[in-house]
Amino acid sequence: MRENLHRFFRAARGAGVRLSPAESIDAMRAVSKVGFTDRTILRDTFLLTLAKTQDEKKALGDCFDLFFDQPEPQSPPEDGKADEQDAEGSNGASDSPGDASGGDEQAEGLGQLAQMLLAQDRNQISAAIANAASAASLPDIRYFTQRGIFSGRILDQMGIQRLRDDLDNLAATNPALAERLTNALDGLRGTVRDTVSQALMLYGREEAENLRNEILRNAPLSRIEPRQVEQMRHLIRQIARRLRERYSKPRKRQRRGHLDVRRTIRRNAAWGGVPFLTAWKRRHRDKPKIVALCDVSGSVARVSDFFLLLIHSLHEVVDDVRSFAFSGHLIEVSDVLESKSPEEAMAEIMSKVGFGSSDYGNSFDDFERQWMNAITPQTTVIVLGDARSNNLDPRADILRRIAERSKRLVWLNPEGRMAWGWGDSEMPRYSTFCTVVRQCATAKQLERAVSDIVASYQ
């Protein structure tokens, strides 16, 4: 039974419930008090001892239902109790010849598995599957590509080789029985497949998710498929949460530093200038102010989309964000992004300025004429674009003025460094004025870029 509990804990971890060893010990103690007789009480016990938030309770509840639910609903006594299955398995093995010979004389001389299948004893079959599954260490399954291997291993454990020999023999002597056996074997395969799929859902979820996220993090944002967009948004939100956690906590302020003489004297005036209370100079730390200029033309649009989503989910960390979108000309999009859902907002922005051929010179000109005063010496200006201006005037002079007014000017370019300066790319001319220039094509690079920008204010 303990073995089974451990397996359940592992499955729960896979389902995203964080379990510490101490918690699993508590759960064990609690279970030893309530016993296994009542399933709802057992479920409540796990929910009380293991899950510590609402989300975790839900995940754990689902996991519990899945775990204690066997693919064969007709066999309730097997509800995940391995030790009973062991007992039954061995009993079944000794009983089966008797059963089979009683039911069907033709089954004489066949292998154990064949007899079991012909006798159609569901309990016995599912017990045998459970035994074979644990012998094949099914809980070690991690990726969906392993399904075939594990199904094969389980069937091997159950003695499919012997069954095949039996089938070959029977095909000659007793075709009718052979056909029955073939059908039963198909059914068995199906059941085993279900068992493996369920195990994959239980034990493989975490790994599969990690793997997918890792692939997604390193995939070029501009070329991901439409079906992955939703996953990517999810990933971007995760990144935003991570950045928020890292930077939103006010770091413990350094209390000792330079003595603030003026404040110390004033504060201690009441004691005739004897410094009872000291006042220390404090470093003023402001939250980041960000002005983002995003190219939304063609292939850069997707990257801008995710970038804006990330920047605007950093409320706690970033004080003030003003976003602008441009292709041919430039507009402010902060309000749209604040008031609408990401999908709607992007659609609206695209309908206003998207899909044009980009004109960096004209867009910078728009910005200088209308919004230049948005830039203060505390502002970080981020330009996101490929700097391909269709051979129009790049107006690098405006970018220089922006750089002079701002704290930092960061250029994020989705193209690889190799492509900068080739064709109509104006990157070399722009990059002279930028504090930092980085490539930003994947979620990972995006995270690092934004993290660096926020960190420069800490």
Partner 1 sequence: MADIRPSASIEAVESGLAAQGYIASRQIATAVYLAQQIEKPILVEGPAGVGKTELAKAIAAWRGMKMIRLQCYEGLDEAKALYEWKYAKQLLYTQILKDKLGEVLGGAPTLEAALNQLHDFGDVFFSKEFVEPRPLLQALEQPAGCVLLIDEIDKSDAEFESLLLEILSDFQVTIPELGTVVAVAPPTVILTSNSERDLGDALKRRCLHLHIGFPEQKLEERIVESRVPGISQTLRRQMVSFIHEVRTLDLKKLPSVSETIDWARVLVLLQAPELGHEMVKDTLNVLLKYEADIEATMPQVSTFIAKASRQNVFG
For binding to partner 1 (CB under 8 A), which residues are involved?
Answer: 20, 22-23, 26, 29-30, 32-38, 40-41, 44-45, 47-49, 51-54, 57
Note whether 293 and 330 are within 8 A (CB).
yes
Smallest distance, partner 1 to C-beta of residue 249, A:
10
Nearest-5° angle of CA 69, CA 75, CA 79? 40
Cα–Cα distance between 346 and 153 in angstroms, integer?
50
Smallest distance, partner 1 to C-beta of residue 33, A:
4
Nearest-5° angle of CA 374, CA 450, CA 227? 110
Note whether 159 and 113 are within 8 A (CB).
yes
Residue 32 or 120 having the CB closest to partner 1: 32
Smallest distance, partner 1 to C-beta of residue 11, A:
19
Nearest CA to 147 out of 163, 162, 133 is that of 133
Smallest distance, partner 1 to C-beta of residue 437, A:
38
Residue 30 or 396 having the CB closest to partner 1: 30
Nearest CA to 79 out of 39, 129, 107, 40 is that of 39
Smallest distance, partner 1 to C-beta of residue 46, A:
11
Cα–Cα distance between 187 and 122 in angstroms, integer?
11
What are the start-end ranges of the E strands in 213-338?
A: 289-295, 320-326, 330-332
Three-state SS at 261:
helix
Residue 26 or 207 having the CB closest to partner 1: 26
For tokens 């598995």, what's the residue? Answer: 113
Smallest distance, partner 1 to C-beta of residue 25, A:
10
Residue 29 or 281 having the CB closest to partner 1: 29
Residue 60 or 450 having the CB closest to partner 1: 60
Q: How many CB atoms lie within 10 A of CB 183?
A: 11
Identify the bridge partners of residue 326 per DSSP, sorted by sequence position. 295, 330
Cα–Cα distance between 267 and 277 in angstroms, integer?
7
Tokens of 19: 């379990």
Residue 32 or 183 having the CB closest to partner 1: 32
CA distance readout (Å), 13 to 10, 50, 203, 205: 5, 10, 8, 9
Smallest distance, partner 1 to C-beta of residue 20, A:
6
Strands ordered across the beta sheet of 289-295: 330-332, 320-326, 289-295, 379-384, 408-413, 436-439
Smallest distance, partner 1 to C-beta of residue 337, A:
23
Three-state SS at 4:
helix
Residue 49 or 323 having the CB closest to partner 1: 49
Smallest distance, partner 1 to C-beta of residue 48, A:
5
Residue 41 or 211 having the CB closest to partner 1: 41
Residue 43 or 263 having the CB closest to partner 1: 43
Smallest distance, partner 1 to C-beta of residue 28, A:
10
Cα–Cα distance between 4 and 440 in angstroms, integer?
47
Smallest distance, partner 1 to C-beta of residue 243, A:
17
Residue 19 or 154 having the CB closest to partner 1: 19
Tokens of 322: 């003003």
Note whether 289 and 380 are within 8 A (CB).
yes
Residue 50 or 336 having the CB closest to partner 1: 50
Three-state SS at 412:
strand
Cα–Cα distance between 458 and 455 in angstroms, integer?
5
Tokens of 3: 């073995």
DSSP-derived secondary structure letter, 388: B
Buried b (16+ CB within 10 A) or exposed e, 244-256: beebeeeeeeeee
